[in-house]
Structure 1
């Protein structure tokens, strides 16, 4: 019952997102979306209890807002915000607009912030009518061995 209440509360936050008013508010809201999307993603078995690495460049506008979520729980794991580097395992990769798909992503949830045509990852964060929304590409997620909760899919603006 407690888990269901927590799930309902997180989904309500996603559905009732306030209008985006400023870049700082926008970054905080997008970071919250990324965290909640990670909560409703089914990850492949075998990760154990190692941190759930969210890879984002330190120059990205979301860096500071995501860093504030460091250590928050995600399905028995702790969120770790890291800068991508050779050899780093990225469970979530946050890419800027215009980014290209990296070869050999493995089991990485790719989230593209405001995609400008072309590659949009498994999740695309988009602003529409001064509200933050997201699109989901289930085929892209399946390619990475990931699945999304049906509750999350119902909240998406578009599901492909």
Structure 2
């Protein structure tokens, strides 16, 4: 049923989670993977007037999951730069302020977030200070922690 939902490319079951190294106790029974032009918003409200307070703010600690809309200011705000400037001035002067400049329009986000790009030229890179035959080429995402840990613990 999930695979028929527009925007979902595939659904990973137990075997699929193992294939992508996502088979940990908190992964849930199924994992939906967005297609290359979609992303899953956490917006659970149907009326923007009933959105929670944190929805319009830059507040990564209260939002459930990653919110790419948070990286974009609301294009509907008149004199946006001036409004942001006044809020930053309040901050600088020690006053309380609410950075409520985020839109609730999820369609402002383009593309997908959190999935590997199809073109290898767009894949993330991992740069290490030491080079060797062993360290060249592609590495598995599950190797990143170990490599960083070894470098830091030297």
TM-score, normalised to structure 1's length?
0.19
Greater strand fraction, Structure 1 or Structure 2? 1
Compare CA radii of gyration and give the structure with the larger one.
2
